[in-house]
Structure 1
């Protein structure tokens, strides 16, 4: 059925649409002095006025400012404009979400510096400092996050919030050091997140960027979004993947430079052994160095290591066992490029066995015997002997040894060596080696020459040892020397005894060291003094 309309009569459905049309067509354009709010389902003017407007400013003024005909119908998705001077304004705080190393803060009231503690809330005017390898992370009222890196100083100059959930105004001053920022999208045309340094000002509205305030210059690097960088003169907008260096007193616009791409970390292993961690990556073309961050936190709220290197690798042998996350970027003309991430574990199982013999600095005689304690989780062992402490020149090694002691054949010449031992698990996977143990190997096959004169006085002579500070001589009737008949310390490799009774004797001698690392005696020699034997000629048992 077709409906007829009388001239000048507006249908009822048209009346219902009229307030919506008025709302859409008469909403004023955004003003630089307005905060713009996007209407959500269920919003009403009186609720929004109570949440965001100062006391005494009624919702009707907000209705007139936005030319709203029917305050009961606010279509979701439309924009409401709040004049800034009408908004409630209250101080905001910054929450400390993580701390590592040494970090302190000094309140605005001039109280002495205090340690920064995770969970504390910082007020406007606080000054933060981090020491070498110290770091902390902050969360601001709008959800933005910032990490203050090592050797840095930051001043929280302004932290304000308009309304309980509205626009925020955050301004800080990086006096020295480096920060990483992840800024939440700012609500409203006047929302701000501004970082000042001695030579530049950076303002953002939702981005990821880094700032380094060095002596005489400031580097800004944009990883996502865009950043306005200003010096004493005109500013420059840096888009994603660009950076700029601003010198102190610079009056020309900052020059945007392309950041280096992320390095290739495919060569980073998933597992390293404690005491042996050495990271290597593919050299990045154009990079004059690298910035390396290491953290146990995948979000890098704190760092265990923050350093730069000039080569495509770093020695981390002192890194304790644990799970680690790596963040690496190339450096070109002081600007750090895009970041690459990798994760790895430092494993210390099976634990290195305790060495028993030879002990550090000791002198031992061939045949060489290595001994160590049982290690939990180890089903077999591997040892190495090298001529240098770095084990770049390995002279002897063996794998899959089930026992905790091994006697080596006479394969090593007398000299100075290092040895170490590691455990193997049931799958044959090696754990970390223990610390290198230095020792000196002496000739255990040297013969003690014996002379007997007519008075039946016995003399023993043996080869001199290099660097020996003296010698210790022992005589016994027993091969295990459980009862020692004669023990002497002499300066030279010889000793003269009184008369010896006929029969079997056991003798041995070892060199003495200045440091006390005398080591074990060499194998004993058995001699026999015959009845009625008188001679001054050399006699060899």
Structure 2
């Protein structure tokens, strides 16, 4: 198995195999030269006695004899420098510290506990699980930080400290999900690895991420800072072996510098270094969030498949408030936290599954008191009356600020009123307007609500005097292109005694001459977009008695039409 543990060896070739593991491990050699503890021999020391005091396994003294080329293990010179590889030294278990946690978090440790308060210790061999909304930050004995996001399972497989010198041995296993690390610079001889069932990364001090998907057994890693050595954690089969034999060979690892990542498959194949996607950016207009739902639409690299977004209460992303993974191009939404300052971290994800470089942006939430719901006029409303009634919902202890402007940016304000109730009646000249309302609580004004447009149109034009055509009366009025009309005639000005209601395509109404008497007429327009305006003011007209012939035509004399109420001058 390709990691930093000593390879197992059979009894007959125990020491040669042990030394080979110490001297020839590819990942270990790639990180640093072999680091050793130097013990100055004292008078009376023997190699066997030194092994009994210092080694994890006292029976490994022959390995020291071979490494130091000592002819007689029972005869050592005072101050003779005895080289002891750190992996052979005695070590003790250490503990991690639970720095931060939020959401659903379970910690299974050898003592059987399922939870731990923030600030408590986590022993070696513990397994940390996070739910769909869980997040944990763990601090290791060397000061390294492990950030464990949602839906992950991490095993603190080995947290060891050697008894001699500031040397640690750390092994973290990602069994499911992801881990993000800030690895402190390691002391000479220390060994730090983070792996999965299919891959392992050895580091000396860096910031990188590692993810494992149990379904596909694919491991991905990305380096943000420093350098790591990344290799398979499962030996490959040597195809040159004879039938019936199975020889395991170690696949080579790859070195990954900052800005690069790699993919390891279930078969133990490791990709060449792959450049990470650049960090997404957040448009400036999204820095201020004024609604109870945060909405972000970042600018992504062209080849992005997905984007991961993380919201935190602090710049160090120790207090995570939420995380989302969405398809590239979709709006990223979060419930808005309390008004204040927050941080957003964004990463684009490529088709390889590698997450790109992180982009971090501060943003503000100022969503309270939230604006009221607007009731009338409706969106894109039109009306042919200059008196306009504005209504919105209200809450106790709030005032409201109404703005009406000639432009959508509200630079040309026509009305601005501070109002206690949820209603205002305004007289507006003909034209196009935009209106909005904000809630005010004490001295604090909340964000503006949605701006709605309103068009005030000219009211119905006056009716021309009726034209008496003998048997008919004709009424006409001004109109706009594309309009149709609805006209009504009644005996009373309230139009309760309705005599006629007629739809007409042109601004002209022709009716049969009614009986003598007093009547009222009104009309309204329907615009080409379907908007039905108000009725015109009722206008009175009179039909006078007159003499007519047998065909209904008016009798005329030299002075004009003969009427029963005719009076000579």
Shorter-normalised TM-score: what interval?
A: 0.5 to 0.7
Structure 1 segment 67-106 matched on structure 2, within 5 A: 84=86, 89-106=91-108
Q: Structure 1 stretches of 5 or more lacking a match?
A: 1-29, 38-44, 46-52, 58-63, 70-78, 385-392, 413-417, 438-444, 453-457, 464-541
Larger radius of gyration: 2
When residues 420 and 277 of structure 1 are mapped into structure 2, their CA distance, relative to the original with a 3 A threshold, is farther
Residues 383, 422 of structure 1: 8 Å contact kept: no
Give the SS at the match of 1:337: coil
For residues 102 and 319 of structure 1, what CA distance do their matches in structure 2 show?
A: 20
1:188 lines up with 2:188 in the alignment: yes
1:118: Cα distance to partner? 1.7
> CA separation of 1:277/1:449 partners in 2, compared to 1, >3 Å: closer, same or farther?
farther
The Cα shift of 1:263 comes to 3.0
Q: Distance in 2 between matches of 1:423 and 1:66?
A: 88
The number of residue pairs the alignment matches comes to 389
Root-mean-square deviation over aligned CA pairs: 5.5
The answer to whether the 8 Å contact 2:397/2:441 transfers is: no
Which residue of 1 is the match for residue 161 of structure 2?
Answer: 161
SS of 2:128's partner is: strand
The answer on whether the counterparts of 2:170 and 2:193 sit within 8 Å (CA) in structure 1 is yes
Kindly provide the CA deviation profile for residues 177-214 of structure 1, in whole angstroms up to 9, marking residues without a partner as x: 1110111111123x222222132122212111101112
Aligned to 2:359: 340
The one of 407, 416, 430 equivalent to 1:401 is 416
Contact 2:181–2:208 (8 Å) recurs in 1: yes
> Could you report, residue by residue, the CA deviation over 1:85-133 in whole angstroms, capped at 9, with x for unpaired residues?
785622111111111221111223445x33x532121112221111113
Using the alignment, how far apart are the partners of 1:345 and 1:67 within structure 2? Answer: 69
Pairing partner for 1:310 from 327, 332, 335: 327
Return the TM-score normalized by structure 1.
0.57
Query: 1 CA distance for matches of 2:265 and 2:181?
Result: 21
Local SS of the residue matching 1:335: coil
Partner of 1:381: 402
Q: 1:25 is matched with which residue?
A: none
Which residue does 1:5 correspond to in 2? none
Decide whether the 8 Å contact of 2:400 with 2:418 is kept in 1. Answer: no
Unaligned runs of 5+ in 2: 1-31, 43-49, 55-74, 235-250, 453-459, 461-485, 502-569
Q: Are the counterparts in 2 of residues 267 and 281 from structure 1 also a CA contact under 8 Å?
A: no
Aligned to 2:437: 421
Q: Which of 256, 259, 263 pairs up with 1:241?
A: 259
On the 8 A contact 1:353/1:421 being kept in 2, the answer is: yes
Q: Is the 8 A contact 1:229 1:254 kept in 2?
A: no
Contact 1:274–1:317 under 8 Å retained in 2 = no
In the TM superposition, 1:79-228 aligns within 5 A as: 84=86, 89-110=91-112, 113-114=114-115, 116-163=116-163, 166-189=166-189, 191-214=190-213, 215-216=215-216, 217-228=218-229
Question: Are residues 436 and 305 of structure 1, via their aligned partners in 2, closer, same or farther at CA, if it must alter by over 3 Å?
Answer: farther
Match of 1:262 in 2: 279
- The alpha-carbon deviation at position 268 of structure 1 amounts to 5.9
TM-score with structure 2 setting the length = 0.54
Q: 1:352 to 1:222 in 2, by over 3 A?
A: closer
